[in-house]
Amino acid sequence: MATYLSHGGQNIQRSERRDNALVVATVDGVSFLGRAADGRWKEDRRELTGTHVSALVLEPLSGTLFAGTHGQGLYASTDGGRTWERRSERLVSQHIYSMNCVQAGQESRVYAGTEPANLSVSTDLGRTWTLFPRLREQPAVDTWSFPAPPHDAHLKNVGFDPRTPSTIYASVEVGALLKSTDAGATWRLLPVPYEDVHRVAIHESAPGHVYVSTGKGIYHSEDAGDTWEQLTDQSMRVGYPDALIIHPDHPELLFTAGAIVWPRDWPKYQTADPRIARSSDGGRTWEVTGRGLPEHIFGNIEAMAINVWQGGYALYAGTTDGDIFTSDDGGDTWSTMISGLPAISKTSHHTRLASFRGGPPPEPVKLRAQEPHQRPKGRSPSLE
């Protein structure tokens, strides 16, 4: 068994015991890491070199591993990633940002989100694809965009209601959070207060509770997306949250990670200066869990994953510097698991940050002191 760490793919892995393998999506292929008997990790091999891999998804029934790439389409492997076959010829775009899969009875559905923002599904393990054309039939679709060239919005994340695989959530960066209750035939816009939606997280034991990370903080809905309250704002240490994970056995235990400020402000501060935060009460309060991490992390944390087994779990966080940090105690303490990998990065963030190296020391970012971070407004969420 392996855990998969990628910007736009799966981020939760259950296993009978702790996985001793981590498969990582990087800007130079897929890195296969192994954990030795002494606990040390090393890179065993790298596949799909020369491709910027954005998303990794394992389809569980067939054991097929999918790798979505920026600009080179989608690849599939049936032998644990040793050989790969191109399976994206019928996709409308070869720029894959996000992937996910869900079981609907005996049918396995694999989803691919692209740039420009579109979503397609395959029910034959990627050999053919069906586009959801009505996803773009939104009143404000002409306003969907992204700050960096070529300024096309992308479909950043795909999630499902655990009660029914036909209910799909799709986040557009930047533009919208969309929901379908009929397996993608029709879509409606959800009223998230801020349209830069990064991640969607839903817990199987509390499926009406939906969490999203956005460019202005984390929001929560108790009614499957009809109404929202803001849990964090940009005064939190993770001012630009991206990664968002709910522990699969504990619906009130959440983790997020991201930069201290928006990417547009990285040139000013010459760093992303990210951190990881944890909430044990469904997002009402948050604490930074940085013990053991470097005092200053230059590159951004752009991928996060959790491996859960009976009696324990491990967290992984990957950066645009090619570092992976891990925690075995719920985020209380962290260690550097491995360094020197190719960047784990969304599109060009790694090159943008690399351009700051050798410049002046990072300028301190002044935020309101608030530790632990309290919800900025609104009533308390309840997961009962």
- Can you tell me the distance from the alpha carbon of 247 to that of 234, in angstroms, rounded to the nearest whole number? 24
Cβ pair 76, 87 in contact under 8 A: yes
**pTM for this prediction:** 0.93
Across 139-250, where does the E strand assignment appear? 154-161, 164-173, 176-180, 188-189, 197-203, 206-214, 217-221, 229-230, 240-246
Give the residues across from 96 on adjacent strands: 114
Q: pLDDT per position in the chain (384 positions), as tens?
A: 899 999 999 999 999 999 999 999 999 999 999 999 888 999 999 999 999 999 999 999 999 999 999 999 999 999 999 999 999 988 999 999 999 999 999 999 999 999 999 999 999 999 999 999 999 999 899 999 998 888 999 999 999 998 899 999 999 999 999 999 999 999 999 999 999 999 999 988 888 999 999 999 999 999 999 999 999 998 999 999 999 999 999 999 999 999 999 999 999 889 999 999 999 999 999 999 989 999 999 999 999 999 999 999 999 999 999 999 999 999 999 999 999 999 999 888 998 898 888 776 666 665 544 455 666 654 444 443
3-state secondary structure of 353: helix
Task: Give which of 57, 70, 30 is closest to 351, Cα–Cα.
Answer: 70
